[in-house]
Amino acid sequence: MLLGVDVGGTFTDAVLVGADSAVFSAKVASTPDEQSVGVLDAVRLVLERAGARAGDVELFAHGMTVATNALLEGRAARTALIATEGFTDVLELARQARPSLYELCRSPPAPLVPDELRFAAPERICPEGVQRALEPHAAEELVRDIARARPEAVAVALLHSYADPQHERMLAELIAELLPGAHVSSSSELVGTYREYERTATTTIDAALSPLLASYLRSLCEQSRAAELPEAKVMQSSGGLTETARAGAHAALTVLSGPAGGAGAALLVAELAGERDVLCFDMGGTSCDVCVIAGGQIAETAERTIAGRPLSLPALDIHTVGAGGGSIAWRDAGGALRVGPQSAGAVPGPACYARGGSEPTVTDANLLLGRLLSDAPLAGELALDRAAAEAAVGALARELEMEVLACAEGIVRVAEAEMLGALRLVTVERGLDPRAFALMPFGGAGPLHAAAMAGELGIERVICPRASGVLSALGLAAAAPRRDVSRTVMLAGASLSAQRLSAERDALIEQAGAELGSPPARVRIRHELRYRGQSFELSVEQPGDGSPEQLLAAFARAHEERYGYREDSAEVELVNLRVSAWGEAPRLRLRAPAAPPPEPSRTEIVFDGLPREASVLRGEPPQQTRLHGPALCAQPEATLLVPPGWSLAVDEHGSCRLTRVRSAEPDGVSRV
């Protein structure tokens, strides 16, 4: 059996997949003070529902928010930085870009390493070779100085170490010898590409977060062994699994661990549905994550910013906004209704959870509008208190001088506007037409808002997967091991020969395979190129046997597509090579339940201020179920809203497909 456990800000989800593709799921409240408690609670519950034992589990895949939360909250280990003499302030200088162009008083986040913990190494390496050697006695004296400062972690990021890492290796060995309790992160081992500031910032993040993550993973492994579970594999930001030891040693690899599982599962569902272009929309209790599947591949990036800090590591291109079911609604100083980014979280949670929360949230608003059922427990057997929700939303309505239901609808619309902004960012602002995509909602709250979001974007197909409320956990169980390696090569003109290109590719493929521990089942090679004189590169994918001429032609096409022009007479530089290697992935198939369609009940749902009678289906609908809006599908871990003007059909994989209903107008024209 395959087990996936995803820790979110509000709920912890577990999915267990049997050899016959039977899917069992569980959702419990997250335990922010000690996440492993919620993890083991979810595992025990899902094993109980499946009638299985811990010994039946072959793979235990885990996605979590430990590193993410620590970075966002500023909780980090006491970290020292070793940089080349003259470059110790690179984190302070950064790129000299203001975080907000028109907010002159807004400051960037403070460096993770204070001035007194920045140490200069008397050395200098250039791309062409060693200019000033690091003498062993000077290196030892430097490390002894660092030891007196008593850091918990040390980041080593020397100038041009991507070209020659010998000095970083010397310092790492000395730190391991003279500071045996301190964690060490070396930029040449972690990043491997140029751009001094981004490489140093990434290495510092890795060093500062790794002691915390390593401690959590050690605790989880001990508890897993006691429960007779296999050692967990950890989801990386890139969407592939790695061992707990490697994740604990390089926490920066896991900053987007949880959302990456959802994107991987969305790709699986999209392939089963025959869809190659999909917008993924994951709305949980605390935040909303969006990403794009285009041409059957999830968009990836090697450069992103988290909490105002650059992270130069391979990651799925996921954009996050603070809009979830637990996002708190409030009145700003100008009297406007706002939602988020503050969240009620798991404790105390929305007011309707009756756990002491009193602030109005998106979940409370949906309950008052009839879009959540007060007589059906929420995931985790959580009963919803309508009176508590009405009191919380009512207090805000009085502040805004609105009716309670109008305020509830306003809360939902403001939250949807925030999420629409995120979807437009990854589509319209990048030259993609969202109308050409299907929308795939998941997470506990996503299916409630999917049709409204699709309507605003002009999308006419919505695919709500089976187990949508725990889809990120399902994606963890379906994930393959992955390794990513990269190198700055700077090849142009005669040096960009077929022989040199092949040698560089083969070396990286061999390194990725060695780190993977087995021959790769799949390899992806990306080349980052630019016209000489440009500051940034375009990524071009090409197989290992592609020629330099084919590579340059592909770059010219990509440049014209992105920027509207090409310069065939200009010299092209191959700046970086990136290789991703995957191991074998579990083969999963999702099937719709075989039970006959349940008899729908009736309820009232508020649309545009007016209550309308609607159908209600409870449980997972079987294949060939048909339903016209307005309706609700109250599934075990999520609720799907089918508004008026939409119809629902369930396919063989258990996915609910929503489509716009076209009606004939009196003039005979068919309109949406």
Chain segment 454-474, per-residue pLDDT in tens: 999 999 999 999 888 888 999
- Examine the pLDDT at 444 and tell me if it is beyond 90: no
- Examine the pLDDT at 634 and tell me if it is beyond 60: yes
- Examine the pLDDT at 662 and tell me if it is beyond 90: no
Residue-wise pLDDT tens digits, 153-174:
999 999 999 999 999 999 999 9
Give the Cα separation of 591 and 231 in Å (integer).
29
Neighbour-count burial of 610, counting CB atoms closer than 10 A to its CB (0-12 exposed, 13-18 middle, 19+ buried):
exposed
Least confident of 57-71, 398-412, 568-582: 57-71
Q: How confident is the model at residue 379 (pLDDT cuts 50, 70, 90)?
A: low
Cβ(112)–Cβ(208) below 8 Å: yes
pLDDT, the chain, mean: 89
In a domain, residue 508? The reply is yes
Residue-wise pLDDT tens digits, 207-242:
999 999 999 999 999 999 999 999 999 999 999 999
In a domain, residue 527? The reply is yes
Residue-wise pLDDT tens digits, 120-148:
999 999 988 899 999 999 999 999 999 99
- Examine the pLDDT at 353 and tell me if it is beyond 60: yes
- pLDDT confidence of residue 668: 32
- pLDDT confidence of residue 597: 67
- pLDDT confidence of residue 666: 39
Rounded mean pLDDT of 40-57? 92
- pLDDT confidence of residue 667: 34
Q: How confident is the model at residue 664 (pLDDT cuts 50, 70, 90)?
A: very low
Rounded mean pLDDT of 547-554? 94
Rounded mean pLDDT of 542-563? 91
- Examine the pLDDT at 609 and tell me if it is beyond 50: yes
In a domain, residue 155? The reply is yes
- Examine the pLDDT at 356 and tell me if it is beyond 50: yes
In a domain, residue 488? The reply is yes
pTM, 2 dp:
0.88
Q: How confident is the model at residue 377 (pLDDT cuts 50, 70, 90)?
A: low
DSSP string, 239-306: S-EEEHHHHHH-GGGGTTHHHHHHHHHHHHHHHHHT-S-EEEEEE-SS-EEEEEEETTEE-EES-EEE
In a domain, residue 378? The reply is no
In a domain, residue 544? The reply is yes
- Neighbour tally for 396: CB within 10 Å: 23
Cβ(576)–Cβ(537) below 8 Å: yes
Q: How confident is the model at residue 14 (pLDDT cuts 50, 70, 90)?
A: very high
Rounded mean pLDDT of 549-575? 93
Least confident of 298-312, 487-501, 566-580, 654-668: 654-668
Name the domain boundary from 181, 215, 249: 215
In a domain, residue 9? The reply is no
Would you tell me the crossing angle of helices 66-73 and 196-226 to the nearest 10 degrees? 130
Which CATH number characterizes residue 550's domain? 3.30.1490
Cβ(622)–Cβ(593) below 8 Å: yes
Phi, psi of 412 (to 5 degrees): -65, -45
Which CATH number characterizes residue 170's domain? 3.40.50
- pLDDT confidence of residue 451: 93
Name the domain boundary from 215, 231, 265: 215
Give the Cα separation of 42 and 38 in Å (integer).
6
Rounded mean pLDDT of 532-559? 91
DSSP E strands in 403-552: the ranges are 438-442, 461-464, 482-492, 522-531, 538-541
In three-state secondary structure terms, 131 is strand
Rounded mean pLDDT of 623-634? 87
Neighbour-count burial of 69, counting CB atoms closer than 10 A to its CB (0-12 exposed, 13-18 middle, 19+ buried):
middle
Cβ(555)–Cβ(540) below 8 Å: yes
Q: Which long-range contacts link 493-498 to residues 24+ away (Cβ below 8 Å)?
A: 493/571, 496/548, 496/572, 496/574, 497/548, 498/547, 498/548
Cβ(548)–Cβ(498) below 8 Å: yes
Range of the domain at 154: 72-215
Cβ(322)–Cβ(340) below 8 Å: yes
In a domain, residue 621? The reply is no
Question: How many domains, in total, are found in the chain?
Answer: 2
What is the distance between the terminal CA atoms of the chain, rounded to a whole angstrom?
45
Instruction: Name the more confident of 653 and 248.
Output: 248
Name the domain boundary from 215, 249, 280: 215
